[in-house]
Structure 1
Amino acid sequence: MTTATTRRPGDRRISPVFVGILAVAAVAGWATWTGYAARPGVAVFLFVTAAWVVSLCLHEYAHARTALHSGDITIGAKGYLTLNPLKYTHALLSIVLPVLFVIMGGIGLPGGAVFIERGRIRGRWRLSLISAAGPLTNALFAAVCTAPFWLHALDGVPMVFRFALAFLALLQVTAALLNLLPVPGLDGYGVLEPWLPYGVRRQVEAFPMFGLLIVFALLWIPSLNIAFFELIHTILRGLGVDSAYSDCGYWLYRFWSGAPEVCAVSS
């Protein structure tokens, strides 16, 4: 009989779905680099969207893998170690909404996805680390995206590809920072939750489903939006990325709206 704790051969095998998304990112990245696409914005859109979904999968994988090593041996049977986004408990929150957030406002905000059996985890520090693993993955992804900038290794890198990398880095930085907010439903609250009194935890149990949407709604307030993106651009400048690069990446990504003339690139 197969149980939730029985290890099956496919529990940790990388999903063909993830491989397919990775392939789209690679091909679109090549088209962005070479200028093969007739419209650079289309290639940037496909590259950034596919790479963003890859980062979402890695974000949730980090949660799952940390939970597995912290005591939740049911993780494998749930398919979380296959990097298949279709295995997540909330596909809408995990994939659809984050992609829509990027398209609508250039905001990287992963949603809750993997179901951790917290009763199997021993120790509050382990519970906090499980929640922190996702945003830390986004921070690492941002470091990789910005490496050509802070390593001063941009010689030979096409301008349109620089724009795409800068915008992808912006998404990763926003994902890391927003997810660390102590708001129910976000990882920041998950880090804090094990240390809160039981009564407080019970009172906020009904709010996690709305925390993500509330944060996104608040970011539509002009003053908050400006302050937030000033912070993001300050971080990116510290990593060597000029705000003009990420801005042009955003406008190229939204190819249907037309990029400003200052972002024009030759193929």
Structure 2
Amino acid sequence: MTTALSRRSDRRVSPVFVGILAVTAVTGWATWTGFAEQPGVAVFLFVTAAWIVSLCLHEYAHARTALHSGDISVGAKGYLTLNPLKYTHALLSIVLPVLFLIMGGIGLPGGAVFIERGRIKGRWRHSLISAAGPLTNVLFALACTAPFWLDALDGVPLKFRFALALLALLQVTAAILNFLPVPGLDGYGVIEPWLSQNIKRQVEPFAPFGLLFVFALLWLPQVNSVFFGAVDAILRGLGVSEVETASGWHLYRFW
């Protein structure tokens, strides 16, 4: 009985996450209705809160997939509660992604839940655990852009439309960056089980610096241009124009 109660507690949605959802809902309503005197403030809070929700879902997807693959320790660690404060690296998982969003409007991926890989058998399961997070960003991007590619924008206020466009941009950038086969990112985690032990040993020392390496590359004008060119192409394919994402970014940076 105690074990059953413990398991239910380990999987109960955290009040912290519920609070973030509430902020997202209220500020989304304020953005939609134009209730706020300064619409940029509502857009800022709405996009930031929704971005944190997506980060929580990203990490939850990793943990949930690991649970069904054999790592039952994720429940005791609090990863299944969607509480961002339970992540092993809250700074990398939440604080830095939000900071880089505010600074540059980019969906920076974070590192987060600790999976006990020794409990998991089979290379496909290891790959799926790593892929589960960025696949969540893909689904989030499809949800944000659904009104655009379904041609269902009639009656949607412009400010809310622009906020959705910015959210979609964040999800697309996060998905692309996470799927890069760079040590320390999820993309490398997908291919790592299929690499030889010799290659793994050679790459392992660089894993802590993979994210910094990617971020440094994005500062190069040529790389930045190619990267955001690809992001814009994907968004155009989903019905979102560059004008709409730029307008969302302009509203977001209300200061």
What is the TM-score with the length of structure 2 in the denominator?
A: 0.97
Could you tell me which residue of structure 2 aligns to residue 260 of structure 1? none
Could you tell me which residue of structure 2 aligns to residue 137 of structure 1? 136
Query: How far is 1:8 from its partner?
Result: 3.2
Could you tell me which residue of structure 2 aligns to residue 249 of structure 1? 248
The residue identity in structure 2 corresponding to 1:38 is: E
Instruction: Spell out the pairing of 1:192-207 with structure 2 (5 A cutoff).
Output: 192-207=191-206
Instruction: Spell out the pairing of 1:52-131 with structure 2 (5 A cutoff).
Output: 52-131=51-130
Distance between the aligned counterparts of 1:9 and 1:232, measured in 2? 40
Distance between the aligned counterparts of 1:95 and 1:70, measured in 2? 25
Q: Secondary structure at the match of 2:40?
A: helix
Could you tell me which residue of structure 2 aligns to residue 184 of structure 1? 183
Distance between the aligned counterparts of 1:103 and 1:220, measured in 2? 16
Query: How far is 1:207 from its partner?
Result: 2.1
Aligned-residue sequence identity (percent) comes to 78
The answer to whether structure 1 residue 24 and structure 2 residue 26 are counterparts is no
Could you tell me which residue of structure 1 aligns to residue 47 of structure 2? 48
Distance between the aligned counterparts of 1:214 and 1:100, measured in 2? 18
Query: How far is 1:203 from its partner?
Result: 2.1
Distance between the aligned counterparts of 1:128 and 1:109, measured in 2? 21
The answer to whether structure 1 residue 12 and structure 2 residue 38 are counterparts is no
Query: How far is 1:200 from its partner?
Result: 1.5
Q: State whether residues 7 and 76 of structure 1, in contact with CA within 8 Å, keep that contact through their aligned partners in structure 2.
A: no
Q: Structure 1 stretch 211-220 or stretch 127-136: which is displaced more?
A: 211-220
Could you tell me which residue of structure 2 aligns to residue 239 of structure 1? 238
Instruction: Spell out the pairing of 1:205-220 with structure 2 (5 A cutoff).
Output: 205-220=204-219
What is the TM-score with the length of structure 1 in the denominator?
A: 0.92
Which string of whole-angstrom CA distances, capped at 9 and with x for unpartnered residues, describes residues 155-210 of structure 1?
Answer: 11000000000000000000001100001110000001101111221222222221
> Which one has the bigger helix percentage?
2
Which string of whole-angstrom CA distances, capped at 9 and with x for unpartnered residues, describes residues 122-144 of structure 1?
Answer: 00000000000001000000000
Distance between the aligned counterparts of 1:194 and 1:9, measured in 2? 32
Could you tell me which residue of structure 1 aligns to residue 35 of structure 2? 36
Distance between the aligned counterparts of 2:8 and 2:153, measured in 1? 43
Q: Secondary structure at the match of 1:75?
A: helix
Instruction: Spell out the pairing of 1:151-190 with structure 2 (5 A cutoff).
Output: 151-190=150-189
Structure 1 unaligned runs (5+)?
257-267
Query: How far is 1:56 from its partner?
Result: 0.2
Distance between the aligned counterparts of 2:20 and 2:157, measured in 1? 23
The residue identity in structure 1 corresponding to 2:17 is: F
The residue identity in structure 2 corresponding to 1:159 is: L
Q: State whether residues 6 and 77 of structure 1, in contact with CA within 8 Å, keep that contact through their aligned partners in structure 2.
A: no
Tell me the matched-pair count: 254
Q: Secondary structure at the match of 1:175?
A: helix
Q: Secondary structure at the match of 2:12?
A: coil
Query: How far is 1:92 from its partner?
Result: 0.5
Q: Secondary structure at the match of 2:7?
A: coil
Could you tell me which residue of structure 2 aligns to residue 221 of structure 1? 220
* Alignment RMSD: 1.5
Structure 2 unaligned runs (5+)?
none
Q: Secondary structure at the match of 1:169?
A: helix
Q: Secondary structure at the match of 2:9?
A: coil
